[in-house]
A and B are shown apart, each in its own frame.
Chain A
Amino acid sequence: MKKVMVGNHAVSWGVKLARAEVISAYPITPQTQIVEELSEMVAGGDLPARFIKVESEHSAMAACIGASATGARTFTATSSQGLALMHELLHWAAGGRLPVVMADVNRALAPGWNIWTDQNDSLAQRDTGWIQLYCENNQEVLDTTILAFRLAEEVDLPVMLVLDAFYLSHTSEPVDVPDTELVDAFLPPRVARHRLDTADPHSYGALVKPDAYMEMRLHQQQAMSAAGEAHERFARDWSARTGRAWPALEAYRADDAELVLVTSGTITSTAREVVDGWRARGERVGLVKVKMFRPFPTAALRAMLRGKRRVAVLDRNISPGHGGIFAEEIRSALYDVPLDDRPALWGFILGLGGRDVTPETIDEIVVRTREAEGAPEREDIWVGVKV
């Protein structure tokens, strides 16, 4: 069934189809439509779940942790400051191996107050142990929401799906809403491997001494590694059922490309147009879209970029004192490529705090990368700034 919906409602519909059992959330612009729609669904009986309307994002994640530890399929959504407030509990969810699913609407952090998109909120949570999946359009948002539950419950790790503020959250697009039967076949009810149960009492999260803590982190890391493989399997399964493929990495006209743009989120759609333009002029420009940021698809990315001459990474984020966060990750991934096959990499910072990224912005990046002589002048090249 095709419906026209904003990205936020695509999340809500995904959660409904996934039959989430406990939802806990706190409102923040631009996430609010997700929880408003879910409130309607729960109140109207369309989604037989408990919705705990908490007094902060911190408590939202805490309630999700309690519910998930008791075996329920659990969801929350937030953005920006709310995600930052949750930070401590993101570690508790991941370290507790709880398959909580969360939607983060990418929004810039204050000060100054800014409700528009950039990726610093989610990327600041890089090391909390959450799987992170970035979406390009509303169809991908809905499909990824459903897949996120299956992936989380397969590897016992929490999943954050990420969508751009306003460019997705508040923008209407036609979305194919899959049938309930299709989703039920893809995503069976959760069967928790461990849960709070008075008939089989256990203690969770107790004091762990140095002789055991490290192994727990190793198991977490092994689950993260397994998540990459599991995502590939589930993405293929989803594709077989719906005809829609959302791989961890997508190469677009990149096979014979000399210059490859690397993007995530909605900038990808703009970059596709730009790539088509250069291709029409006979230039070998291609694109790699990064959907999965954690676990980072290092090997696949290496294979895609190996032998290319120039790579331009577009970062709608900044790690102050270093550079664009995707660029740093990709530089690191390419280090093991032999020098002869290793592309030069330009890292561009753009679009912070919702600044528009137009085809012209990306054209400028292509031109600067093509025409650069020698090594990049610096690790972070800011474009579209008024200086």
Chain B
Amino acid sequence: MSQIMIRDRVPANELLHPGHLACPGCGGAIAMKLVLNTLGPKTIIVMPACCWTVIAGPWPQSSLGVPVYHTAFETGGAVASGIRAALDVQGDTETTVMAWAGDGGTFDIGLQALSGAAERNEDILYVCYDNEAYMNTGIQRSSATPWGAWTTTTPAVQPQGTIKKDIMAIMAAHRVPYAATACVSYPADLVEKVKRAHGTRGTRFLHILSPCPPGWKYPDEQTVELGRAAVRTRIFPLLEVENGARWRFTVDHPGHDVGAYVRAQGRFRHLDESAIAHIQEDVDARWEVLMKRVVHGT
């Protein structure tokens, strides 16, 4: 995909303004820019506690050109449901209500409210920008943190010992009309998915891998490369699921060795070769499962 084509496909109306407080190289900021510019100004954002609580800017400033409702950590799905209901009562079915939550607010504390909204098939878009830990509070582990990773609550001598929760399978089990993974390193793919979500009614879920330089411990300028490596190694496959049944890959996944991806990040520095081999085995095993879903669902 050439840069010219990407630029053509990412809408130009800029709704993320300068002055936001994201760290250099923040994947979450790129994700917001791509998603919001695609959705356009008729969007209301529900913002449970996450990095973006800070990035959006302190009162009385806002870096976002749409209404933002900051709310409690675990309430993204529920507050979005309430806004949707009020808009419907007022006859506004056009405005998109988007919950914008991190992995903690989605995989952990917000899972119940998200499940409730998905089960009711609320007409909302729920986006999880996943940086694989509680980055805003200082890099504590979440259930989205990958096996083997260092965080401030999983020290190198006892790193994350559990596997990343399969949030896509959970959402697919709710049979929501549209769910997709995306990565900031694949902007054209991401934008297409936002457009598909935008054109679908009911609960739509986007899971966006958003690399985090301070949390993953890598130089700022490598965000796009690392995201790309996560996809090419099949650590983070890019796919979409319709009605919980039809699973489909949206890019190629050549299956590169995970070693380079892991070694590029300080959060995995303590891992020896056998640990890296374990990660590879897990990726291969999950890929086998996913291939069955994709084949079965096509």
Contact = CB atoms under 8 A, between A and B. Distances in A.
B218 interface: no
B67 A198 contact: yes
B81 interface: yes
Nearest to A53: B120
B68 A63 contact: no
B265 interface: no
B119 to A, nearest CB: 7
B56 interface: yes
Most B CB atoms within 10 A — which of A21, A49, A68, A206? A206
A59 B113 contact: yes
B112 interface: yes
A66 interface: yes
Interface string B108-140: 000011011001100000000000000000000
Given A92-B71, A201-B65, A203-B57, A59 B78 contact: yes
Nearest to B81: A63
Nearest to A88: B72
Interface of B: 41-44, 46, 53-54, 56-59, 61-62, 64-72, 74-75, 77-90, 95, 112-113, 115-116, 119-120
Interface stretch (A124-132, A133-141, A207-215, A317-325): A207-215
Interface of A: 21-22, 24, 49-50, 52-56, 58-60, 62-72, 74, 88-89, 92, 196-198, 201-209, 212
Contacts of A212: 59
Nearest to B79: A66
A66 B80 contact: yes
A50 B80 contact: no
Contact of A52 (B71, B75, B82): B82
29 contacts: A50-B88, A52-B120, A54-B81, A56-B116, A58-B74, A59-B77, A59-B113, A63-B81, A63-B82, A66-B69, A66-B78, A66-B81, A66-B82, A69-B86, A70-B83, A70-B90, A72-B85, A89-B72, A198-B42, A198-B67, A201-B41, A201-B67, A202-B67, A202-B68, A204-B70, A206-B57, A206-B61, A207-B58, A209-B59
Contact of B82 (A58, A70, A203): A70
A107 to B, nearest CB: 23
Most B CB atoms within 10 A — which of A49, A70, A72, A208? A70
Contacts of B69: 66, 69, 196, 204-205
Contacts of B88: 50
B124 to A, nearest CB: 10
Nearest to B57: A206
Nearest to B58: A207
A60 B116 CA distance: 11
A92 B74 CA distance: 13
A21 B65 CA distance: 28
Contacts of A207: 53-54, 57-59
A206 B85 contact: no
B75 to A, nearest CB: 4
A62 B57 contact: no
A24 B44 CA distance: 20
B89 A196 contact: no
A206 B60 CA distance: 8
A204 B44 contact: no
B86 A71 contact: yes
Contact of A72 (B65, B71, B89, B113): B89
Contacts of A68: 82, 86
B90 A71 contact: yes
A70 B87 contact: yes
B70 A203 contact: yes
Most A CB atoms within 10 A — which of B65, B66, B70, B81? B81
